[in-house]
Structure 1
Amino acid sequence: MKTERIERTRLVPHTVDGVTEMVLDREIIEVPAPPRDWDHIVRTAVTIGAVILVTVSLTWTTASIGGLLAVAVAAPIAYGAAVAFDTSWIMCMAVEWLLRSDPERAAAAKRAGRFALAVSMAAVFAHGHLFADTIVGVVGALVSALAKGGWSIAMRVHARPLDPLTQQWVAKQRAALDGKLAMIPIRRELQRGEALVHAEQRSLAGRADGGSADPDQSGPVSGQSADSPDALEQPAASGPMTIKDAVRTALDSGIREPDRVLAYVRKVADANAKPDTVSRYIRLAG
């Protein structure tokens, strides 16, 4: 029986000069080695082979189509554009792999990949037919087909098919999750809109209050009198009180203390009224 050596660690008590501490003890032991997983080895080999085929196909297609396009444009541009041909169906296969548990959505990527492969093969065939012969064009075009076939086989090796009932369950769970994810940017958009609305309202309110904060500005004198503080807390009937109106109303109702006048002004006129402004209006009214 094959064995393998592994390191095992554990905490053990260790005493020095009558003081005990838990220390880490290491020991090497031999355990039976697990049997070789040939399925995993073969699966890995298939995946590596598919990657190699795709790399070879991308290189060959780029060289062939780049040579074809270089007749009409500069070589760097031609070979740069040639990369797009095989890259297109490779990307479609990557999307097909990501959507492997959603056959309906993966079908579109599969169709697009087949179309991109056909276009790529046709371009490679055209290059071989024009610059060599028809056989070279056919063989060169088959390189991309073999690469796509090898990658399709690798995908089937890694695939985990779902039965119809489980597939429906997965679809409903994904739909619910997709709905939650879709609401994230929508909520952000709504919050940004609400923030803009509030900012606009604060800006307009600040401009309206700013005109009445000037002590030199005159405004209508409120002749309102009140018998109780509760009545004084109501705004003027014609609209919001100015600071000047609020000061005169407070003085007319018998409120003389500057702190109380300031509190009343901030309550019924301007929450950001300055004590100096209110004191100036008190002196002018006196």
Structure 2
Amino acid sequence: MKTRRIVRERLVPHTVDGRTRLVPDEEVIEVPVPPRDWDQIALNTVTVIVTVLVVVCVAWSTVSIGDLLGRVVVAPAAYGAAAVFDLAWIALMIIEWLARYTPDRARAARNGGIAALLIAMGAVGTHGWLFGDAATGIVGAVVSGLAKGTWTILLDYQAAPLSRRDAAFFEQELSEAAVELARMPVRRRVTRARALVEAERIALDPDRGFADPDRPEESADDPDADVLTIRPGALTTKDAVRIAWDSGIRDDADAARYVAKATGKAPSPDTVARYMRMLRNGLAS
């Protein structure tokens, strides 16, 4: 069995004058060399050959169709349009390869590639026929057919065969992933729309947007307009502070004690102080 030498560095203990430290040291090991994979070498060779065929095909078709179109348009536009004929079926072959795990989608790309190839072959044959050399046109068209056919066989060989159940499973996996991707922009649009609606509502009715002009943030003791209370007739902190004020109480601490007695729970001193300040400034309603 063939082997190859590998030099690697590792840390080994080394002692000097009774002190031990880990120092780097080189180690040479022999590892077995795997046998040559002739199947993969052959496949790589075929891939290179087919790639060369496609390049030659594109060059031939572009020159032929470009010369044909050059009779009615300028040369740059003619040759640019001529390249589209072959690039179309090459692009569809790539799509066919990418869709190899979804046979239905791959079939659509293959049919489109065949249609694009037939159009390109017809254009090459027409060029030869118009210039009085039908044989050259036919041979040139066959070049495109050979390149496309070879690539199709190569793709079929490299694509993993799937049963109908496996193909259906992968279709569902891709569908779920597509739904997750589609949900992201939809969620952004919904959030943006709701934010615009809320901004317009606050702009048209600013008093509903804040609990207090002096303090925009809402207190935990303030009732939420969107939530129904369990006891509709229960006394709120704001109402209790108003009653205390009307009773002649002007000290914040005394008002807080009254609110605790009236509502049955200890209020936030900051909330009581805020309502008292609003009453002193004549802002409470």
Q: Tell me the TM-score normalized by structure 1.
A: 0.72
Cα distance in 2, alignment partners of residues 132 and 21 from structure 1:
88
Cα distance in 2, alignment partners of residues 7 and 59 from structure 1:
48
Q: Which stretches in structure 2 are left out of the alignment for 5+ residues?
A: 215-233, 257-269
Mapped contact 2:61–2:144 kept (Cα < 8 A):
yes
Distance 1:150 1:182, change over 3 A: same
| RMSD over aligned Cα atoms | 3.6
Distance 1:200 1:264, change over 3 A: farther
* 1:60 CA displacement: 1.3
* 1:52 CA displacement: 0.9
* 1:158 CA displacement: 1.7
Partner of 2:263: none
* 1:252 CA displacement: 2.6
> Which of 166, 169, 174 is 1:172 aligned to?
169
Higher RCO (CA 8 Å, separation ≥ 6 residues): 1
SS of equivalent to 2:36: coil
Residue deviations 1:104-143 (CA, integer Å, cap 9, x gap): 2211111111110000001111112223510111111111
> Which of 210, 215, 235 is 1:231 aligned to?
235
Partner of 2:271: 263
Distance 1:114 1:18, change over 3 A: same
After superposing on structure 2, the runs of 4+ consecutive aligned residues of structure 1 that deviate more than 4 Å are 210-215, 232-235, 246-250, 257-262, 264-267
* 1:264 CA displacement: 5.7
Letter in 2 for 1:70: G
Cα distance in 2, alignment partners of residues 266 and 184 from structure 1:
48
Alignment of 1:30-109 (within 5 A): 30-109=30-109
Does 2:10 correspond to 1:10? yes
Tell me which moved more, 83-92 or 250-259.
Answer: 250-259
Residue deviations 1:181-238 (CA, integer Å, cap 9, x gap): 31332254134313422442244225423599899xxxxxxxxxxxxxx535578xxx
* 1:41 CA displacement: 0.8
Mapped contact 2:102–2:171 kept (Cα < 8 A):
no
* 1:257 CA displacement: 4.3
Cα distance in 1, alignment partners of residues 70 and 122 from structure 2:
17
Q: Tell me the TM-score normalized by structure 2.
A: 0.72
Distance 1:11 1:252, change over 3 A: same
Partner of 2:226: none
Alignment of 1:186-201 (within 5 A): 186-201=183-198
| Identical pairs, percent | 41
Q: Matched residue pairs, number?
A: 250
Tell me which moved more, 60-69 or 28-37.
Answer: 28-37
SS of equivalent to 1:281: coil
Alignment of 1:183-222 (within 5 A): 183-209=180-206
Partner of 1:28: 28
Partner of 1:238: none
Mapped contact 2:252–2:273 kept (Cα < 8 A):
no
Tell me which moved more, 174-183 or 89-98.
Answer: 174-183
Alignment of 1:155-166 (within 5 A): 155-162=155-162, 164=163
